[in-house]
Amino acid sequence: MLNWSIVKENFDKENFMLNETLFHLANGYLGVRDSFEEDFRGKLKTVRGIYINGFYETEDIQYGEKLYGYAEYSQSILNITDVQTILLNIDGEEFSILQGKIKKFKNELNLKEGYVKREILWKSNSGKELKIDIKRIVSFTREELFIIQYNITPLNFSGEIEITSLIDGNVSNITASDDPRIGTANAKHLDVVKCEVKENIGIIENKTKHSNMSVITSCIHEVNKKNQLNIEKEHDKINFKFSLEVKENEKVEFVKYSVFTDSLRYENNYTENLKILNEVIKNGKEFYIEAQKVYLNEFWKTSDIIIDGDEKLQEGLRYNLYQLLQSVGKDMYTNIAAKGISGEGYEGHYFWDTDIYILPFFMFTNSFLAKNLLMYRYNTLEKARNRAKMMGHKKGALYPWRTINGDECSAFFPAGTAQYHINTDIAYSFIQYYLITEDKEFMQNYGAEVLFETARVMFDIGHFNREGKFVINDVTGPDEYTCIVNNNYYTNIMAKYLFENTKLAWEILKENKEQFKKLKNKIEINEEEIKEFERAKENMYLPFDEKLHIHPQDDSFLNKKVWDFKNTPKENYPLLLHYHPLTLYRYQVCKQADTILAHFLREEETTLDIIKNDFEYYEKITTHDSSLSTCIFSIMASRLRLKEKAYDYFINNARLDLDDLHHNTKNGIHTAAMGGSWMGVVFGFVGMRIKNNNLHFNPLLPDNINKIKFKINFKHRELEIILNKEKLDIKLISGDKIDVYIDNNKTTIE
């Protein structure tokens, strides 16, 4: 089944880094780029990387001019001990895909079984032929575990071979001082503090220089043939050399188990590591291969979207959903990084991408994982409170624009901290979670506090102007091509929604008297303050232009010249890499959906006519230089019944990484766009929305799709939704009957 596998049958030497990303394996904790077992460093462009989500180094951020309240230190996800290297020597000739003759090559990512496989038929320069099958698993059920199964079959000879397996603690991050989307700090972050061999187990401990974290990497090997093992230990690496006799057409099975434990999760990560490794050896590789299948079977059962009639789209979509599962942090320390655990782009940071682009998928298909993501935000609330104080707010919380551990580490505040909408985005996801799950307890224990504290800061940055309208000045909206503006439509709309829902949270909180009292005391909030929020909501100023009948992105947006797109050469995109920010600020030009995103999230705030005007207006001036853009334009094109446009934007987004449309997938996948592709189907083609607490559908099936089928959870029901050329069909799989609205017609699903 092609659609369950991503397959490449030619080895593209020039774009190896892209392949490393596309075929990387991860499980929310551990991420391994597909850098192959041969060591290509110095031979082709490679980022040979293994990462742990939430495991980072800090460094003082250097500023040419440092002002009060600037983020103090960076946080960078770390490339940890390399275990990918396995070298194969056949009588003096070393196997490498870069030499000899490749008679067959196949790289496969299997989405159903959760492995990456590489199959090669290779003929050495001296004429020796081998079949090499390599299979890798990063286990979903034992998150510290990475297995390489390296099978060798000599096809036309017998003799001696040598397999050298390496554990290498001498690792670095990459740097790219010209691209602000990649870290610019120093590259060598980890010291090797332990390097030892115990009962043929190789163990290396890496320690950070500043953040006081360590990671233990252990490796052990299995070979299905008699062999002679020779171990060479240096101060920061260990070589395991296996010599063995092979016979023509007899398969050698070589297995390398690697276990990674960090000091963030385990107080004694050395002991825990070896305990896990022992358990792994006892269970054996088949156990994990089987468990992987079971785990993924469960995942696809609830989360798959079937697209009938468009294979490329089906492939892109499944790939994306699989990557979201690979990327999502499953413990309290982690969230979803902008690049997942697939590379070093954006330094492994968490942005609003999670809250606005990715959480909908998990909230509707797997509330357990969604809850964990929200808990990460709750757990960093105290840091957000401290940040708010630093930013001059007497109370409330301000979430960081980009972070790993909850502290702000945006080094350019006009496109970072100034994006106060992060507060509203996070609050929005807590509200949505409540609407989808009806989980009052979660709202009482966590959500309400987040809503109140974020609302306080949004209230504090605004004020009632001379006309009595509530205005919010000097913020940056989602579109980073215009920074520090007044009354960004998106920010104001989202703040309004947040203010509105503090009342909902307040009422729900009241139902639990004890918790109500506790929280009131803890953050000193009272009914008066909720009323103030209400007043701000009632009087929220929303920019509107009477002439053009559109919502300007902010107060002064329409006073600017439109960017000269005609005379902008194609190679000057993305614009941020070719123009000074001030140049961009001075024009009507958008990096991404901003007002259009506001319309998607809060359609209730305006009319469909105006949305149409806005869509037409902003479409002309949006470059989609951000990967967060086309999915929103696709959804809103669907909403406006622009069938072809909706499809075009969608396919652009759904295959963004697979087809490397932004030319930077080599630095990692684009998780927000992946979440956006789920939204493009569910909120776009199927037109699903929550309105007045009910599910609404307003479907528009693109012409070259025959059928869309997926499941969602909503208010304790599991529903299956099938859209085909004729109609939208909704089936109740479990739970009580429920009323939904299809094209505004009420229907009872039972």
The amino acid at residue 377 is R
CA 687 to CA 730: how far, in whole Å? 13
Nearest one of 179, 190, 170, 169 to 77, comparing CA atoms: 190
Cβ of residue 71: shortest distance to a copy of itself, in angstroms? 7
List the one residue out of 429, 416, 488 whose CA is nearest residue 458. Answer: 488
**List 59, 205, 480, 529, catalytic entry:** 480
358 DSSP assignment: I
Our answer to whether residue 480 is catalytic in this structure is: yes
- Which structure tokens are listed for 123? 């003929």
End-to-end CA distance of the chain: 34
577 in contact with a copy of itself (CB under 8 A): yes
Taking the C-alpha atoms of residue 545 and residue 543, their distance in angstroms, rounded to an integer, is 7
Q: Which strands sit side by side in the sheet containing 50-52, from one edge to the other?
A: 25-26, 30-32, 50-52
Q: Which is nearer to a copy of itself, 40 or 73 (CB)?
A: 73
**Cβ at position 637, least distance to a copy of itself in Å:** 28
User: 84: which 2 tokens?
Assistant: 């990918």
Q: Is 401 in the site for a copy of itself (CB under 8 A)?
A: no
Give yes or no for residue 210 binding a copy of itself (CB under 8 A): no
Q: Which is nearer to a copy of itself, 182 or 426 (CB)?
A: 182
User: Pick from 282, 561, 566, 737: which binds a copy of itself (CB under 8 A)?
Assistant: 561
Q: Which of 474, 527, 644, 739 binds a copy of itself (CB under 8 A)?
A: 474
Instruction: Decide if residue 573 touches a copy of itself (CB under 8 A).
Output: no
CA 654/CA 677 separation, integer angstroms: 5
Nearer to a copy of itself, 151 or 486 (CB): 486
Nearest of 728, 699, 65, 52 to residue 348 by alpha carbon: 52
Helices (H) and strands (E) in the chain, counts: 19, 31
Among 2, 42, 125, 177, binds a copy of itself (CB under 8 A): 177
391 is a contact residue toward a copy of itself (CB under 8 A): yes
Residues in the chain: 750
Please tell me the distance from the alpha carbon of residue 15 to that of residue 689, in angstroms, as a whole number: 40
Looking at 576, 642, 651, 719, which residue binds a copy of itself (CB under 8 A)? 576
Instruction: Kindly write out the interface string for residues 255-294 of this chain, putting x where it contacts a copy of itself by CB under 8 A and - elsewhere.
Output: ----------------------------------------
Burial bucket for residue 9 (CB in 10 Å: 0-12, 13-18, 19+): exposed
Q: Which residues are annotated as a binding site for substrate?
A: 352-353, 591-592
What kind and span of H or E run contains 427?
Answer: helix 421-437
Is the peptide bond prior to 702 cis by the omega test (within 30 degrees of 0)?
Answer: no
Q: Which stretch binds a copy of itself (CB under 8 A): 66-74, 137-145, 294-302, 304-312?
A: 66-74
Between residues 558 and 690, which has the closer beta carbon with respect to a copy of itself? 558
DSSP structure string for 432-444: HHHHHH--HHHII
Residue 581 binding a copy of itself, by CB under 8 A: yes
* Sheet strand arrangement including 738-742: 689-691, 694-697, 738-742, 745-749
Among 96, 141, 184, 613, binds a copy of itself (CB under 8 A): 184
Interacting residue with a copy of itself among 240, 350, 364, 413 (CB under 8 A): 413
579 near a copy of itself (CB under 8 A): yes
Binding flag, residue 174, a copy of itself (CB under 8 A): no
Window 521 to 550, contacts with a copy of itself (CB under 8 A): 547
Cβ 463 to a copy of itself, closest distance in Å? 4
Kindly state whether residue 410 participates in binding a copy of itself, applying the rule CB under 8 A: yes
Which residue number, 463 or 716, has a Cβ lying nearer to a copy of itself?
A: 463
Please report, in range form, the residues annotated as the binding site.
352-353, 591-592
- Give the nearer residue to a copy of itself in terms of CB position, either 103 or 464: 464
Question: Element (H or E) spanning 120, and its range?
Answer: strand 115-123
Q: How far is CA 461 from CA 392, 490, 491, in A?
A: 10, 15, 11
Interacting residue with a copy of itself among 2, 10, 14, 68 (CB under 8 A) = 68
User: Residue 313 is inside which H or E element, if any?
Assistant: helix 311-327
From the list 14, 178, 524, 726, which residue makes contact with a copy of itself (rule: CB under 8 A)? Answer: 178
DSSP letters spanning 58-110:
EEEPP-SS--TT---EEEEE----B---EEEEETTEEP-TTSSEEEEEEEEEE
570 binds a copy of itself (CB under 8 A): no
Min dist. Cβ of residue 453 to a copy of itself (A): 18
417 binds a copy of itself (CB under 8 A): yes
Out of 558, 640, 690, 732, which residue is the one contacting a copy of itself (CB under 8 A)?
558
Binding residue for a copy of itself (CB under 8 A) from 188, 209, 578, 727? 578
Judged by CB under 8 A, the stretch of 31-39, 278-286, 468-476, 650-658 that binds a copy of itself is 468-476
Catalytic residue numbers, as ranges:
480
Which chain residues interact with a copy of itself by CB under 8 A?
61-71, 74, 177-178, 180, 184, 390-392, 409-418, 461, 463, 465-466, 471, 473-474, 483-484, 486, 547, 555-556, 558-561, 576-583, 585-586
